[in-house]
Chains A and B, each alone.
Chain A
């Protein structure tokens, strides 16, 4: 289930917090020990990856029932919102998830860490062994390839992070700098908290309501400043963040010019996210003043998202390459035991035949040599007979065809113990 098939209220009910994830994976190992599992639960998806032998438990229906039962939900409530993928489709989906193509915001990077965490838990509890490990490593490798070859992860997708990037482009560090925040709304709080992470020396918070200013200042390690003394505060600030409900600009170009004189024309960055704007646009023309309003930041976010969407096709091509390679590798893993069993079977027959023939060989002094010659001949014969079918089995790309061939070989050669 993901953000594409279910809304947040249903996803919340089916999601797994860390403790639940641990419990769920533990139970899965207990109930279906032969299979391998990977549980990926994030704010945008709840996905259970399963690696098992053909026709072995658990079935898709069993898993749906299990999921509903774990969360004490009725299966009927979630059935239509769940999607099931198998074989190369499932592999392709995992690679797309890891590459950020299936995320709410294309290219978001958190999914890689979340996938690693899910895998680490599965390994710890014995739910992930060879196949799942190979699958996850393949997915992470594909994700790295996608991010390095395409622009799908480039740029910023939130107004706050774009503003922060502009701060970093102007200032090497905020150490020794002053941040002035005007307003106490949600956006102010969000952006001020991001700025506080850069550790400015001083944070001033000015708001019409002194109480709200005080509250916001305390939450980000700053101090409240008088709203009626904004002109004075401007003379101290290196970064100004403003978002008030004022219908008229509260900062004029004259105020900014006076502040710049007082500050010896040090660089001043103003982020004005108010609508209507708090800062007169002419202030941005003053030397060493950089002014950004909400439209500027929004435009960059939109451009970034558009660029990321445009990278989709390239990313999908990369995924297709990796799916082919990974599927082939997983197939080899599947056919190797059958091929080994076939060789062992043939060798066993050859050994039995050789034992029988030994009694009929002459007893002259070269009898041992004859035996060795015969043994080598039998060995070569087996290798030559089985070379072509073993090669074809390894190279079969289609999982269904692979399974069918495996079944046929098992049946024809009576390889019950595989």
Chain B
């Protein structure tokens, strides 16, 4: 029997889970925190994009390996082509980066509102800010590399997986750092 690979299924589950968390955050947020809402929504959407791109990357690497191994089972069922997967990754990565940019910008605006300005006074060294900028910079460099002519196929696919892992780590770490100043 042919083992069917469904990398998109776990990716879709991750994307939906992230969006679900975002919806909960939005519903729980006070009315005046528009920037916060924008931040959460765009961060979740960015994570979803990177999740799908990573799934595409995993599928690409697997298909590439099986093509090189001349695996007949690959031909039995209809599957996305390498070109199709590559195109999908290349559309999702910049979209994800764009959303991540919106997330960081809106998070920055939310962080610097008057009631919290003291907390983020030295925002340049705040862990959340640093992690966010670091992630953004890494993704932006990765994007430049992905669109450099030398890199095709497997490299871009591997990069999409690395970007997703990085974004997830940053999201989790960022969630662990308090966003609100301590009481008193």
Residues of A at the B interface (CB closer than 8 Å) are: 151, 154-156, 162, 165-166, 168-173, 264-267, 284, 287-288, 290, 292, 296, 299-300, 303-304
Q: Check B70 against A296 for contact (C-beta < 8 Å).
A: yes
What 7 A-B pairs have minimum CB-CB distances, sorted nearest first? Answer: A172-B84, A264-B149, A300-B72, A165-B75, A265-B152, A172-B83, A172-B81
Q: Check A155 against B75 for contact (C-beta < 8 Å).
A: yes
* B150 interface hit (Cβ, 8 Å): yes
Across the interface, B154 reaches (CB within 8 A) one of A156, A165, A287, namely A287
* B33 interface hit (Cβ, 8 Å): no
The size class of the interface chain B forms with chain A is 20 to 34
Residue of B nearest to A304 (CB): B72
Q: Check B152 against A287 for contact (C-beta < 8 Å).
A: yes
Contact string, B68-94, partner A, CB cutoff 8 A, digits 1/0?
101010111001111110010000000
* B63 interface hit (Cβ, 8 Å): yes
**Residues from chain B with Cβ under 8 Å of A267 in the complex:** 82-83, 152-153
The answer for the CA separation of A145 and B102 in the assembled complex, in Å, is 53
**Residues from chain A with Cβ under 8 Å of B152 in the complex:** 264-267, 287-288
Taking A287-B152, A288-B152 as contacts, is the C-beta distance between A171 and B83 under 8 angstroms?
A: yes
* B173 interface hit (Cβ, 8 Å): no
Q: Check A290 against B150 for contact (C-beta < 8 Å).
A: no
9 additional contacts, CB 8 Å, given A172-B80, A172-B81?
A151-B76, A169-B81, A169-B82, A170-B67, A172-B84, A264-B150, A264-B152, A265-B150, A267-B152
**Residues from chain B with Cβ under 8 Å of A299 in the complex:** 70, 72
Across the interface, A303 reaches (CB within 8 A) one of B72, B84, B153, namely B72
Across the interface, B76 reaches (CB within 8 A) one of A155, A172, A284, A288, namely A155
Taking A170-B83, A172-B84, A287-B154 as contacts, is the C-beta distance between A300 and B75 under 8 angstroms?
A: yes
Residue of A nearest to B150 (CB): A265
16 interchain pairs, CB-CB under 8 A: A155-B72, A165-B75, A169-B75, A169-B82, A170-B81, A170-B82, A172-B80, A172-B84, A264-B150, A265-B152, A266-B152, A288-B152, A299-B72, A300-B75, A303-B72, A304-B72
Across the interface, A265 reaches (CB within 8 A) one of B76, B87, B153, namely B153
The answer for the CA separation of A79 and B174 in the assembled complex, in Å, is 86
Q: Check A169 against B154 for contact (C-beta < 8 Å).
A: no
Q: Check A172 against B87 for contact (C-beta < 8 Å).
A: yes
Q: Check A287 against B153 for contact (C-beta < 8 Å).
A: yes
Q: Check A166 against B67 for contact (C-beta < 8 Å).
A: yes
**Residues from chain B with Cβ under 8 Å of A170 in the complex:** 67, 81-83
Residue of B nearest to A155 (CB): B76
Query: Taking the nearest CB of chain A, how far is it from the CB of B71, in angstroms?
Result: 9
**Residues from chain B with Cβ under 8 Å of A300 in the complex:** 70, 72, 75
**Residues from chain A with Cβ under 8 Å of B67 in the complex:** 166, 169-170, 290
**Residues from chain A with Cβ under 8 Å of B80 in the complex:** 172
**Residues from chain A with Cβ under 8 Å of B84 in the complex:** 172
The answer for the CA separation of A78 and B13 in the assembled complex, in Å, is 66
The answer for the CA separation of A267 and B82 in the assembled complex, in Å, is 9
Residue of B nearest to A303 (CB): B72
The answer for the CA separation of A55 and B151 in the assembled complex, in Å, is 78
Residue of B nearest to A292 (CB): B70
Query: Taking the nearest CB of chain B, how far is it from the CB of A403, in angstroms?
Result: 45
Taking A267-B82, A287-B154, A290-B67 as contacts, is the C-beta distance between A169 and B74 under 8 angstroms?
A: yes
**Residues from chain B with Cβ under 8 Å of A162 in the complex:** 75
Query: Taking the nearest CB of chain B, how far is it from the CB of A235, in angstroms?
Result: 14
The answer for the CA separation of A265 and B150 in the assembled complex, in Å, is 7
Residue of B nearest to A165 (CB): B75
**Residues from chain B with Cβ under 8 Å of A284 in the complex:** 68
Q: Check A265 against B149 for contact (C-beta < 8 Å).
A: yes
Residue of B nearest to A300 (CB): B72
Query: Taking the nearest CB of chain A, how far is it from the CB of B73, in angstroms?
Result: 9
The answer for the CA separation of A299 and B73 in the assembled complex, in Å, is 12
Residue of A nearest to B77 (CB): A154
Most chain B CB within a 10 A radius of its CB, from A172, A266, A290: A172
The answer for the CA separation of A287 and B67 in the assembled complex, in Å, is 13
The answer for the CA separation of A197 and B83 in the assembled complex, in Å, is 19
Q: Check B81 against A168 for contact (C-beta < 8 Å).
A: yes
Query: Taking the nearest CB of chain B, how far is it from the CB of A267, in angstroms?
Result: 6
**Residues from chain A with Cβ under 8 Å of B83 in the complex:** 170-173, 267
The answer for the CA separation of A287 and B150 in the assembled complex, in Å, is 10
